[in-house]
Every structure is written in structure tokens, then in C-alpha cells.
Amino acid sequence: MTEKKRTEEEISTEMLEKEIEKELVAETREQRIAREREEDKERAIASWVPKTKLGKEVKEKKIKNLDEILDSKKKILEEQIVDSLIKVKTDLISIGQSKGKFGGGKRRAWKQTQRKKKEGNVPKFSTLAVVGDEKGHVGIGMGSAKETLPARDKAIRTAKLSIIKVKRACSSFDCACDELHSVPFKVEGKCGSVRVILIPAPQGTGLVVAGELKKILSLAGIKDVYSKTFGYQRTTFNLARACIDALKKTNVGGKE
């Protein structure tokens, strides 16, 4: 009986070990794609040959912090500088036309335009990308090409080159925590006819902003904020630029 019990126990432990291994090995498609992207990025940084003085200093690890570059107002001309200093996350902002009859559907990330030529219509795609590390750094960039994926890559590269530092704090009158979860004071940004005002909010409020601005603020590391918007807000490009203009003004009056 004892031998049978031992064999049963051994079998059960083996079954459990196999199930655990399967759970560890099994990964979703999104996780696999994210892992492959990370590996590609690491290989690209390892094989990167810098061409600028700033890039060489970063490659030699003389500069280890992105804030040193931004505080000294040095111009970033290589996207690998940002990739090697911070862990970048990317997203696309919906600036394209709406699908469906009379434009009633959901807006797309790709804005499609076309030119008339002798050989026919020549389409062009443009998109607006936002990058950030959720720790006080964010940037947006526009990219256009004849196909969608090259346009996305151009937009992400431009966004990395135009990354800015965002000062965060807990400055709401009814919140007294020590976490950096909101803007330090009331700031206003403007682009075209659009004005965006960001107001500090207590912890747990969330992002009380337009849908596309949530992507920018979350990648900047801001979790709670109130907002007011004025002007023609359907022009998403101007709305995003106004939000970035407001975030730039958080650096006035001190450093984080």
C-alpha cells in the first residue's frame, strides 16, 4: 500500500510540475510580440554606431541620465540616445478620418490623403505618435509615408527626438501625499484655436481629460488631473500639441 501511495504521490507531483511549466512557458501573443520588440531594440542599441558627440558620450556611458541632456538643452539627433537611457513606451493618437456612413464610426490612427496624377491616385498616410517612460518624460511626433508602417516608424523617431521633461508633484489642496501623481500647479497650453488647462487633482481622481490626451498624460506619468479645453477640439493634432505646451510649462519655477 505504501508503494502505491508513493507512486500516486510522485505522479501527482509530476503532473503539478508539468502544469506549472506549461503555465510558465505559455505566453500570449501580445507578450511574445512585446518580448520580440524588446530583443530587437536591445540588438539595435548594441549594434548602434553613434555619429554625434552626444551619442558617443551616451554610448561610452559618460552620460547616464536623460535629465542631464534636457537640463543642459542639448539637441538630441539620434533616437538611440533615448532608447539607451530610458525604457520607452509608445502609442498612436487617433487623428484619421472616421469610418462608417457620415463619419459616425471610430476614428483611426492613420490619416489618409491622396494626390491626383496621370497614373492615378497616389495615397499617403500620416500618423501622430506619443512616447514616454511614465516617469516624467514624454514626446509627440508626426510621420507620413506612402505606407502605414514606415509612417509609424517616422512618427516614433520624431517623438523620441522631441522628448521633454515633465515636472510632477502632489499639489492639490485636498491631498497631502508624497507621491508624484499630478501637475505641480495650474498650467495652460495653446496651439491654433485650442487651449488646454491642466489643474492639479487629489489622488484617486484619475485623468479627467479628453480620450486622446489620456495617452499623453499616462505616458508622462501623470495619474490624476482636472482639465478645461477651449476651441475646436476635433483637430486632434492641435489638441495634443496644446497639451504638450502645457506640460512644458510645468518646468517653470524649479526642478523635480
What single DSSP character describes residue 65? -
What is the C-alpha separation between 187 and 191, in angstroms, rounded?
14
Cβ within 8 Å of residue 205, ≥6 positions away:
224, 225, 226
Say if residues 159 and 191 touch (Cβ distance below 8 Å).
Answer: no
Type of residue at 152: R
- Position 232 in a domain: yes
Say if residues 163 and 248 touch (Cβ distance below 8 Å).
Answer: no
Domains contained in the chain, number: 2
pLDDT at residue 22, as a whole number: 65
Q: Which of 117, 138, 164 is the last residue of a domain?
A: 164
pLDDT at residue 3, as a whole number: 45
Specify the CATH number for the domain of residue 235.
Answer: 3.30.230.10
**Are both 100 and 153 inside the same structural domain?**
yes
The helix or strand, by DSSP H or E, that contains position 106, with its residue range, turns out to be: none
**Are both 182 and 224 inside the same structural domain?**
yes
pLDDT by 10s per residue, the chain, length 256: 444 445 666 777 777 777 766 665 555 666 777 777 778 878 888 888 999 999 999 999 899 899 999 999 999 999 999 999 999 999 999 888 776 666 566 788 888 888 998 888 999 999 999 999 999 999 999 999 999 999 999 999 999 999 999 999 988 888 878 889 999 999 999 999 999 999 999 988 999 998 899 999 999 999 999 999 999 988 899 999 999 999 999 987 544 4
**Are both 153 and 188 inside the same structural domain?**
no
**Are both 119 and 173 inside the same structural domain?**
no
What is the C-alpha separation between 89 and 139, in angstroms, rounded?
11
**Are both 173 and 160 inside the same structural domain?**
no
**Are both 194 and 148 inside the same structural domain?**
no
The helix or strand, by DSSP H or E, that contains position 90, with its residue range, turns out to be: strand 89-93
- Provide the residue range defining the domain that includes 172: 168-251
**Are both 182 and 160 inside the same structural domain?**
no
- Position 3 in a domain: no
Say if residues 172 and 201 touch (Cβ distance below 8 Å).
Answer: yes
**What does pTM read for this prediction?**
0.81
